């Protein structure tokens, strides 16, 4: 039977979902060559949210990450997730174009294009921008559940996406909401309406059904699935490569991947997780509540944090129920960034204040004005829209027009003639102080993989029983390990 190929998500969605984007560049570099030789169709590396995380928290240069990883991974195409540059601010087209251009110049070869509304105009603009800079575009059809997101909706969206003649379409299920039954309905529907453009699947394990959806899609003709290498699979992440490959093989398919080459990668990231205190992904129990509120896992923790700050942490369930009502009144946006955050924040405010829409965020106002997608303005409940826009702040923001400066104007405002394009994009997203602090931290920390002889020797020696101290010495260099005494003091 047919070959099944895999797109790796470990270095992007895997640690974004499970480690809060906490994987460092050095961690990636230690196993990049092994991943390159494994036979992946592509390897996801970065999205725009990683730029801020790298600089602010990891104190690493994201452009250096892209360059260094692309020097190690030469055989396999590296992929960018090309949604918005700044998830919570309206980005000028000139900045988006430069963002794609610099990603391509630094070594990326593919771009998975997203629009949170599955909007054709946005797809078209982004696909054209990707092609202009030499990135191969793949268009996401984002899955959601609502009265608006019907079979006919997805058939129409597939027909629209097919007119762009992209390399592939991707059925993207960021909330892990797909079931095997919906997969069985949607995959043939999209395939029939996509003018023979190949379809890949990207799902999550949030409800525990991700691996089953992958197998259902494979049986229906999908030949490329997105998976992660454990311990960065399962949980809220993507299905495990090993699990999907093993089950596909049992069904008679041929996984086009070198399992054995990835076993050391699994062992390495497991050791990293234990040493750094990062979560290890594990299969989750089926959770029907996820289908009711559709609030992503990361947002649930944020909602709880907002409520905790005002002493209302016991009202989380009420806030989730309110999120269901707000989503319906907002016209059933797909619960992905930034729309899910707009819904969640407004729901939290409604619960905290005690009167619905008495207070609203500027983002809710811009949403009602159609600035986060015309669909928001068109499908929002009219009474709610009037309530949001009828206040003084609503009338004030209605007069504002999002600026569309040229890149030369952006450079004059925040850069200067000597600023590189890479630095200009960082300055668009971050403060000069944050960037300076990142630069002062120096180059990425080096992480050693198990292939280093000293690491291997120490691992083997620590397995021996009866030794409390291990000392390795060569010339003027020595390493000493001492076993911790856990006995209570007398």
CATH code for position 174? 3.20.20.70
How many Cβ atoms are within 10 Å of 142's Cβ, its own excluded? Answer: 21
Report yes or no on 23 lying in a domain: yes
For residues 349-357, give the mean pLDDT: 95
Tell whether 261 and 358 lie within a shared domain: no
- How far is residue 89's CA from residue 409's CA, in Å, rounded to a whole number? 18
164 pLDDT above the threshold of 70: yes
Structure confidence at residue 333 (pLDDT): 97
Tell whether 266 and 168 lie within a shared domain: yes
Q: In this structure, are residues 482 and 468 in contact, taking their beta carbons and an 8 Å threshold?
A: yes
High-pLDDT (> 90) share of the chain, %: 80
Tell whether 26 and 50 lie within a shared domain: yes
- Model pLDDT for residues 69-81, shown as the tens digit of each residue: 999 999 999 999 9
Size (the chain), residues: 490
Report yes or no on 164 lying in a domain: yes
451 pLDDT above the threshold of 70: no
Tell whether 77 and 24 lie within a shared domain: yes
For residues 210-221, give the mean pLDDT: 98
Domain boundary among 212, 246, 276: 276
Tell whether 86 and 200 lie within a shared domain: yes
Domain boundary among 276, 304, 322: 276
Tell whether 257 and 292 lie within a shared domain: no
Tell whether 224 and 303 lie within a shared domain: no
Tell whether 113 and 199 lie within a shared domain: yes
Tell whether 257 and 360 lie within a shared domain: no
379 pLDDT above the threshold of 60: yes
Long-range contacts of range 270-279, CB-CB < 8 Å, 24 or more positions apart?
Answer: 270/230, 270/231, 271/450, 272/27, 272/447, 273/19, 273/231, 276/22, 278/18, 278/19, 278/22, 279/18, 279/19, 279/231, 279/235
**Range(s) of the domain holding residue 464:** 453-482
Tell whether 24 and 111 lie within a shared domain: yes
CATH code for position 309? 1.10.472.90
- Residue 474 or residue 93, greater confidence: 93
Tell whether 264 and 294 lie within a shared domain: no
Q: In this structure, are residues 233 and 239 in contact, taking their beta carbons and an 8 Å threshold?
A: yes
Structure confidence at residue 453 (pLDDT): 60
Domain boundary among 383, 399, 415: 399
Domain count, the chain: 3
243 pLDDT above the threshold of 50: yes
């Amino acid at each position: 039977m047919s070959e099944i190929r895999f797109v790796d998500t470990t270095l992007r969605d895997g640690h974004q979902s499970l480690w809060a984007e906490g994987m460092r560049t050095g961690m990636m570099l230690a196993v990049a060559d092994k991943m390159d030789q494994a036979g992946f169709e592509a390897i996801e590396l970065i999205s725009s949210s990683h730029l801020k995380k790298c600089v602010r928290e990891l104190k690493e240069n994201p452009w250096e990450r892209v360059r260094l990883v692309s020097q190690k991974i030469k055989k396999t195409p590296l992929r960018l997730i090309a949604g918005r540059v700044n998830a919570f601010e309206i980005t000028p087209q000139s900045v988006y174009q430069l963002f794609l251009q610099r990603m391509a110049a630094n070594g990326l070869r593919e771009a998975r294009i997203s629009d949170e509304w599955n909007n054709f105009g946005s797809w078209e603009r982004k696909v054209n921008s990707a092609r202009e800079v030499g990135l191969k575009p793949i268009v996401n059809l984002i899955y959601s559940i609502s009265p608006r997101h019907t079979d006919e909706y997805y058939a129409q969206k597939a027909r629209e996406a097919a007119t762009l003649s992209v390399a592939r379409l991707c059925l993207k299920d960021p909330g892990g909401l797909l079931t095997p039954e919906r997969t069985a309905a949607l995959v043939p529907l999209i395939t029939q309406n996509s003018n023979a453009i190949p379809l890949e699947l990207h799902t999550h394990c949030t409800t525990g059904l991700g691996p089953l959806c992958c197998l259902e899609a494979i049986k229906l003709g999908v030949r490329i699935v997105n998976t992660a290498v454990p311990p960065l699979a399962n949980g809220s992440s993507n299905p495990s490569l090993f699990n999907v490959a093993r089950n596909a093989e049992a069904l008679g398919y041929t996984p086009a991947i070198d399992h054995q080459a990835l076993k050391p990668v699994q062992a390495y990231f497991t050791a990293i997780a234990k040493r750094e205190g990062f979560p290890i992904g594990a299969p989750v129990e089926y959770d029907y509540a996820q289908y009711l509120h559709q609030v992503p896992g990361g947002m649930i923790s944020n909602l709880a944090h907002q409520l905790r700050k005002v002493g209302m942490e016991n009202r989380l369930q009420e806030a989730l129920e309110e999120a269901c009502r707000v989503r319906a009144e907002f016209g059933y946006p797909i619960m992905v960034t930034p729309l899910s955050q707009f819904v969640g924040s407004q729901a939290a405010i409604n619960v905290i204040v005690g009167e619905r829409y008495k207070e609203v965020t500027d983002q809710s106002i811009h949403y009602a004005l159609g600035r986060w997608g015309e669909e928001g303005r068109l499908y929002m409940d009219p009474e709610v829209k009037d309530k949001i826009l009828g206040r003084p702040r609503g009338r004030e923001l209605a007069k504002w027009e999002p600026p569309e400066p040229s890149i030369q104007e952006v450079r004059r405002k925040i850069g200067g003639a000597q600023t590189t394009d890479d630095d200009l994009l960082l300055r668009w997203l971050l403060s000069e102080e944050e960037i300076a602090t990142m630069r002062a931290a120096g180059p990425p920390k080096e992480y050693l993989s198990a292939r280093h002889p000293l690491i291997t020797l120490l691992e083997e020696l620590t397995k021996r029983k009866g030794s409390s101290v291990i000392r390795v010495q060569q010339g003027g260099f020595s390493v000493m390990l001492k076993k911790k005494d856990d006995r209570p003091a007398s």
